[in-house]
Amino acid sequence: SNLRRWPANLYSLFDEGKNMYSSTIHVLVSAVQKLAKVVRVPEGLYLYRGLGGKLNLPPSWYKAGANGCRGLAEWGFMSTTSHREVALMYSGVREGRPQAMVLQIRAGAVDRGACIRDFSQYPQEVEYLWVPCSYIEPIDHEHLEVTEDGPVTIIPVRVNANLKTMLVEELIAQKKNIHLSAFSYVLDELSHNLQALTEEHHAMERHQADEWTGGSSIQQAVC
């Protein structure tokens, strides 16, 4: 709900509590990205996602925008499964919902989810999880399929995985570089201010009169 900002009532609870779980989300994104890179994808693997049967797809799905593309961005983690029957269960057809739909995704070498079966509460669903902000676009005509529970719209799509997400190690390195750069700037500014002080009137005399200088020159004291 934090990433999608929906449902609104649930999102407002986190927003009012001033805790959006940013660190938790970044760690999970990093873990999913790492798993996706090493997971073995069987040849010809298709993944499926049931859409619940309560919502219609947005206008951007059917009509190309100014850039000539159709589709939508999934702002949150996107759950898919390699078992078609599981996706049908989540399509809403069993509840008799009129918008029962299933996305059919061809997994690729680059664009693929992370198999989290070993970490799932429901390992039998063989879940493949995609990182947030992946883009979904239709690649073929949708068709209606009649199941024993009723009609379901099957929609062939391509999912472009968000490859710009950062690993935890990359985030830590980025923050480290930011702090080191800021510290270097402070040191340069301090050195500049000290150099300006050495050029003030009577600075040399005051330095020589100071018994704590140990006989060092004013330039050595600055450095």
Structure tokens at 3: 């990433």
* CB-based burial, 117-143: b 16+ in 10 Å, e otherwise: beeeeeeebbbbbbbbbbbbebeeebe
Q: Give me the phi and psi of 36, to 5 degrees please.
A: -65, -30
Mean of all residue pLDDT scores within the chain? 90
Q: Confidence band (pLDDT; 50, 70, 90) for 220?
A: low
Q: Confidence band (pLDDT; 50, 70, 90) for 191?
A: confident
Contact 58, 71 (CB under 8 A): no
Contacts of 74 (CB under 8 A, 6+ apart): 130, 132, 133, 134, 135, 136
For the cut 80, the answer to whether the pLDDT of residue 12 exceeds it is yes
- DSSP designation for 111: S
pLDDT at res. 16: 85
* pLDDT per residue as tens digits for the range 130-145: 999 999 999 999 999 9
Residue 24 vs residues 3, 6, 130, 136, 164: alpha-carbon distances, Å: 12, 18, 16, 25, 18
For the cut 90, the answer to whether the pLDDT of residue 41 exceeds it is no
pLDDT at res. 95: 95
* pTM over 0.85, yes/no: no
